Amino acid sequence: MDRPRLLTPARPTGMTRRSVLGFGAAAASALLVPGCSRGRADEPAPAAAGTFVTGNPGGVYNVFGAALSALVSEVTGMELKPLPSNGSVDNLVKVASRAADLGFCTSDSALAAYEGTGEFSKGPLRFTALARVYDNYVHIVVPMASKAKELTDLNPPKDKPNAPKMVVSVGPKNSGTQIIADMILDEAKVDVKRVNMTLEQSVAALTPKENATRGSIDAFIWSGGVPTVPIAKLQSTLGFRLLDIAKVAQTIALKEFGGFVVSSIPPSQYGLASAVQTLAVPNYLIAKPGLSDSWAWWTVNTLFRRQNDLIKDHPEAGALDPRSAISTMPVPLHPAAERWYRQNHI
């Protein structure tokens, strides 16, 4: 499968999770993933139903989370209910407060929450991780008819100081997308009117209504896996381009800690004319404080033993690799998740 391509190596972080667990790459390469859906028969099933906060309807968090929840429910016989959300920040708050059992979040948001910085400056949150799953890619979407070819083209024309600012959706409030979008716009010094919209609202707002020549927004920023289906569908209706943000992505990747890397979205993902360089950030699957060992173990077990079934629902599941899944520092692995990786020689 034609997948996004890493352009710059991640920053070294010293001791790796693998060294903490005491296993090397040679042991990791010996992992066997049987086709059995349940795996260890002596691992007890969860005693009560659980909830999984995912993301915006149509987004990869939402699609991937619903698919994983269905499989975990199937193999355990206990319901794991997926719930839509506004994304990373919302999920972190709900999981840390025990309002949900599991959730997805970006690594930069997880770091900020764990250390009590940025959006979480009121105090650190406590939670554990089950796995690093796949990477998010920043999409800056403009209609094909837009004159914007690069990010700074979204600024007001220099020869028209009184021209209205372009309107750009930066994702839902309290989302990882908004954090990254604000960071990119601030770093690039792009002066636009920022509005908070969900993915579905952004797609609808970019599309002209009836006899209008343009939508109610000029562009939208989205951080998600590829392909993100609602964005892909735009290509057959409105037609769109993704803005290349290589320069600002490089600056952020070198300056900010949190797992940011420069990556490339292949043209085949969205029917583009060429590959687009952008900013990527890993995603974590996180768990509430005190999540039962049975929920943690069965979720991780299902994530990897039923990977082929997950790929049918979304190709991002093809990025799952237990050798990188343990790289969630500084967020500690749940003890039962750590036990699963040990049992499978990771």
For 286-343, how does the pLDDT look when each residue is reduced to its tens digit (9 = 90+)?
999 999 999 999 999 999 999 999 999 888 888 889 999 999 988 999 999 999 999 9
Query: Which CATH number does the domain housing residue 80 bear?
Result: 3.40.190.10
Please name the amino acid found at residue 85.
S
Q: Are residues 278 and 310 in the same domain?
A: no
Is 324 inside any structural domain?
Answer: yes
Higher pLDDT, 116 or 31: 116
Q: Are residues 146 and 44 in the same domain?
A: no
Q: Are residues 222 and 326 in the same domain?
A: no
| Closest C-alpha among 32, 245, 40, 17 to residue 131 | 17
What CA–CA distance (Å, rounded) separates 265 from 125?
Answer: 33
For position 181, what pLDDT does the model report?
96
Q: Are residues 22 and 100 in the same domain?
A: yes
Is 6 inside any structural domain?
Answer: no
| Closest C-alpha among 69, 55, 7 to residue 228 | 55
For position 35, what pLDDT does the model report?
33
What CA–CA distance (Å, rounded) separates 19 from 36?
Answer: 29
296 contacts 339 by C-beta, under 8 angstroms: no
116 contacts 67 by C-beta, under 8 angstroms: no
Q: Are residues 199 and 317 in the same domain?
A: no
Please report which confidence band the pLDDT of residue 34 belongs to, taking 50, 70 and 90 as the band edges: very low
Please report which confidence band the pLDDT of residue 11 belongs to, taking 50, 70 and 90 as the band edges: very low
pLDDT digits (tens, 9 = 90+) for 229-256: 999 999 999 999 999 999 999 999 988 7
Please report which confidence band the pLDDT of residue 213 belongs to, taking 50, 70 and 90 as the band edges: confident
Structural domain of 181:
137-282
Q: Are residues 174 and 222 in the same domain?
A: yes
For position 206, what pLDDT does the model report?
97
Higher pLDDT, 12 or 323: 323
Q: Are residues 141 and 186 in the same domain?
A: yes
What CA–CA distance (Å, rounded) separates 307 from 320?
Answer: 8
Is 8 inside any structural domain?
Answer: no
Q: How many domains does the chain have?
A: 2
Buried b (16+ CB within 10 A) or exposed e, 70-94: bbbbebbebebebbbbbbbbbbbbb
Phi/psi zone of residue 14: left (φ > 0), alpha (ψ -120 to 50 degrees), beta?
A: left
From residue 345, how far is each of 224, 338, 340 by CA, in Å? 30, 11, 9
187 contacts 180 by C-beta, under 8 angstroms: no
Is 7 inside any structural domain?
Answer: no
What CA–CA distance (Å, rounded) separates 239 from 207?
Answer: 10
Kindly report the pTM of this predicted structure.
0.78
Q: Which of 282, 313, 329 is the last residue of a domain?
A: 282
Taking 90 as the threshold, does the pLDDT of residue 115 lie above it?
yes
Partners of 262 in the β-ladder: 279
Q: Are residues 150 and 191 in the same domain?
A: yes
For position 33, what pLDDT does the model report?
38
Higher pLDDT, 161 or 61: 61
From residue 199, how far is each of 87, 173, 239, 308 by CA, in Å? 11, 12, 16, 27
